[in-house]
Amino acid sequence: MALVTDSMQTDPQFGRAGAGKLRTFFRALVGSGLALLATPALAQGDPAPPPGCTGTPTATWVTVIAENLRNSDGLLAMTLYADDSRRFLVKHGSLSVGRVKVQPGGTTRGCIFLPEPGVYAIALYHDENGDTKFNRSMIGLPVEGWGFTNNPPTLMGLPSFSSVRLNVPRTGLVTRIKMKYP
């Protein structure tokens, strides 16, 4: 439900049992027709998220426009990171990973739900073969395209966390990311 996020499941205040009870409560609201009162986006008059928005539904989302895709094969993977440099690009360090089919014409639009307004980082990769992995060559170099929020230079290696931080003060923000290829 809109008010039960992944962070509630790991927060000691809620615990797994508490999150389950909240989920049950909000499911009952949906069944009674009172769910509109419990959805912050609707209560504040914010726009509805685009169809196909990925992640756990919340009242906050960001639209991602990936530009310069070299073909329309496969999927665009969108990885969301919290404002924590120690978890950026680390295995199991992301908040969520969403995937959308790549669209013809070199530009693909996707949407990611965020836990709440705040600072995040988004990393993209063009999963051309659709195997849900960021493929690398025998010597470890990328063979598929990538991109990051704020479009930092990546010629000398991975970008710093500070260069990819994106402030999302409200729902509906649009960010454009230019894809790069080896």
Q: Tell me: the pLDDT tens digits for 37-55?
A: 333 444 456 688 998 899 9
pLDDT tens digits, one per residue of 80-120: 999 999 999 999 999 999 999 999 999 999 999 999 999 99
| Predicted TM-score (pTM) of this structure | 0.74
Output phi, psi for 37, to 5 deg: -70, -25
**How many residues are present in the chain?**
182
Identify the three-state secondary structure at position 134. coil
Six-digit token pair at 145? 């395209």
Which pLDDT does position 157 carry in this prediction? 86
Measured CA to CA in angstroms, residue 172 lies from 34, 104, 175, 180 at distances of: 24, 24, 10, 25
Six-digit token pair at 105? 């014409």
